[in-house]
Structure 1
Amino acid sequence: MNFESFTKEIKKEKINSVLITKNSENVYAYYKNKKQTDKLHKINSCTKSILSILVGIAIEKQYLKSLGTPVHEFFPKIFQAQTDSRKMSLTIRHLITMTDGLDFPEFGDWNCFAPMVYHHDIVKFVIDRPLLHDIGTHMNYNSGCSHILSAIIQQVTGMKTEDFANENLFKPLGIKEYRWYTDKMNISKGADGLVLKATDMEKIGTLMLQGGVFHDQRIISAEWIQASTTPNRLTYKNIGFYGMHWWVSKLDLDKDFTNENSFYFALGFGGQYIIVIPSDKLVITINSDIYEDSLLPLRLVRANLDQFTGQRVTHI
């Protein structure tokens, strides 16, 4: 592995840290300065991918019945006030795959910012949005789905999502320092509330790479990892397919999806990434301040993949 040219490229950008592990061993570490080594980074929408793990744990521990559970069971008053009866068919599966059908132009007119953050009841704000598509037929990026999932976890477990995560995910991974911001109703922000160290983001990637096992402890099932990272719908060609709160793409864009030709990743605004390449046993963690172009780190990784995977890849 030769990271010399990769290092030169990332030094030109507002990239704060890059960690790469292969077979769970550190093979590369870049920090812009000493402060970055122990800094807690706001990981923005990488929070969503960690929330996906928590949904799986909640189902496996039988706090939740299944992905097919209707959302109206948790918020009956909000749904009783809806005039569009189609919303009654909304399920947890639709939320976690963002196939809710609601009008939520986060990657459109709102320009990556959802005004739900100003609302006193974010769950109500999201569910009150009109339907643009029949539920389950179309994927549209919707941070509101993630926050509703967090609210559901808090409701069924009787504890804040942050506390549920600490007990069932963070402690087993050895994650001790973090923050998880809440909304005005004291619900852990499911869309973008987490603040973590780069080394702890890497642990999340390692857990995923190892099929839900960390230090010989089973934390989440391999079946959930597989389901979460299976490509579902391709709405944003410049990013990739969407699974269950994880993005999925091909290493070589000219070839078919196979286990050897796919990777998946968590993506946060400003260039925060947890990238997992199962075929090469690689985890790449990135923290950035590139708010004008969140996809730049992904393009840099793609452009240099052949250096540390040994594969010829299609660059975008």
Structure 2
Amino acid sequence: MTVNWDRTTPAEAGFAADLERRFEAGIEAGLLRDFHAVAMSRNGKLVFERYFEGRDEAWGDDLGHVVFGPDTLHDLRSVTKSVTSLLYGIALEEGLVPPLDTPVVDGFAEYPDLVADPERRKVTIGHTFSMAMGMEWDENLPYTDPRNSEIMMERAPDRYRFILDRPIIEPPGQRWIYSGGAVALIGALITRGTGRSLADFARETLFGPLGIDEFFWCAGADGAESAASGLRLTTRGLLRIGDVLANGGAHGGRQIVPKTWIDACLTSAIRTAFDTGYSRLWYLEVSRAPAFEGARPWAGGFGNGGQRLWFSPDTGIAAVAYLGQYNDWSSWIMPTRFWTEMVMRNFERL
């Protein structure tokens, strides 16, 4: 079922009145390509959406040619990490999961040798959220390469021991090392603390209250849902999450995501290898669009192939892009153009 939205025009929402024509011009000129869907909102209202068609995948499985629409589920890939962050924030507010200064190994008592290791006890849950565990991990290799650490994790007989037993290469907290394994640990802490699967906890605490009833969460061979990359949502469903975050975490008179968690997600904890800020599984930067009097902060969830969710609290703007550039290392270009050139540069007033 399509997530219901109140609609408004670009002009009424403070954007250039000819925003849709500008987007079409970008498509026609080839500056924007390989999109499956795009959508944007401001202050709870849908401003713009477009759907396309093309080849797609579901967590690596070829789906063939797909005609996309408001009801079509799409891989989030690593945008899943950012959604998982929200679930932890909700569970933490309810007292169901440990605070972030807790050693992460304490959540895995089945490995007493690792729990007792004084060096591993220095790695906190907070370090997993910053991807700064100080442990060996390599996702720079293609995900088709069996030496990729996330692929090795998925094929390991015990994914959590595989992650927690990685060689320690530096003190935690010093350097951002991209790690789906860190997020797998966070997902396990959520399921162990809440007594529910990620899908069930999300349905109860996040998706259900936002009217999102169509989603799918892919799981590994061991049955563990992938907290790092396995979620599939519709365009409007993901946009609803971004819109709520852009407007303080409340929806329908209820605080869905704790405001304190959103504020922490917007406060950079470390710099990434891409020279962006990063906090609690969200990328951070500022917009320097000429229309703004000053820099405006935004947060984004980024996924393989060009999947994106952005939200900008200062403006109430949220946007989603789904693309089909899976395993293409240049896939950052098209969604970045959409956000900077089509969304931020066409926003004309605060």
Residue type at the aligned position of 2:325:
I
For residue 308 of structure 1, report the CA deviation from its aligned partner: 1.9
Please give the secondary structure, in 2, of the residue aligned with 1:202: helix
- Counterparts of 1:183-198 in structure 2, within 5 Å, are 183-198=220-235
**Alignment map for 1:193-212 (pairs within 5 Å):** 193-212=230-249
Selected match of 2:71 from 35, 38, 47 = 38
Among 313, 337, 341, the residue aligned to 1:303: 341
Alpha-carbon distance between aligned partners in 2 of 1:274 and 1:51, rounded to the nearest angstrom: 13
Note if 1:114 corresponds to 2:147: no
Task: Within 5 Å, give how 1:155-166 maps onto structure 2.
Answer: 155-166=192-203
Q: Is the 8 A contact 1:260 1:279 kept in 2?
A: no
Shift of 1:108: 5.5
Residues 182 and 306 of structure 1, relative CA distance in 2, 3 Å threshold:
closer
Aligned pair partner of 1:231 in 251, 268, 283: 268
Q: What are the Cα deviations for residues 50-95 of structure 1, in whole angstroms up to 9, with x where unaligned? A: 1001111111111123111221222133351589631112221111
Matched residue count: 307
Deviation at 1:135?
1.1
Aligned counterparts of 2:150 and 2:274: Cα–Cα separation in 1: 22
CA distance in 2, matches of 1:247, 1:285: 15
Residues 102-148 of structure 1, C-alpha deviations (whole Å, 9 max, x = no match)? 11121368787722222232211111211122012221111111111
Alignment equivalent of 1:278, drawn from 313, 318, 330: 313
Contact 2:137 2:166 in 1 (8 A): yes
Matches within 5 A, 1:1-316: 1=16, 2-3=18-19, 4-10=21-27, 12=30, 13-33=33-53, 35-78=68-111, 80-81=113-114, 85-107=118-140, 114-115=150-151, 116-237=153-274, 240-252=276-288, 260-291=295-326, 292=328, 293-296=330-333, 297-310=335-348
Matched residues in 1 for 2:337 and 2:117: separation? 41
% identical aligned pairs? 26
Secondary structure of the 1:132 match is coil
Instruction: Output the TM-score relative to the length of structure 1.
Output: 0.89
Gaps of at least 5 residues in structure 2 are 1-15, 54-66
In structure 2, distance between residues paired with 1:42 and 1:153 = 21
Could you tell me how far 1:190 is from its partner in structure 2? Answer: 0.6
Cα distance change, pair 209–306 in 1 and its aligned pair in 2 (3 A): closer
The answer to whether the 8 Å contact 2:243/2:316 transfers is no
Tell me the amino acid that sits aligned with residue 263 of structure 1. Answer: W
> Is the 8 Å Cα contact of residues 129 and 281 (structure 2) preserved in structure 1?
yes
Work out the CA distance in 2 between the residues paired with 1:10 and 1:242: 31
Cα shift at 1:310? 3.0
Aligned counterparts of 1:248 and 1:10: Cα–Cα separation in 2: 27
Query: Could you list the runs of 5+ residues in structure 1 that have no partner in the other structure?
Result: 312-316
Deviation at 1:231, TM superposition (A): 1.6
Greater helix content = 1
Indicate conservation of the 8 Å contact 1:209/1:283, yes or no: yes
Letter of the aligned partner of 1:274 in structure 2? L
Q: TM-score, normalised by structure 2?
A: 0.81
| Residues 211, 225 of structure 1: 8 Å contact kept | yes
For residues 4-57 of structure 1, the C-alpha deviation after alignment (integer angstroms, 9 at most, x for no partner) is: 233332464110111011222111111115533311001100110010011111
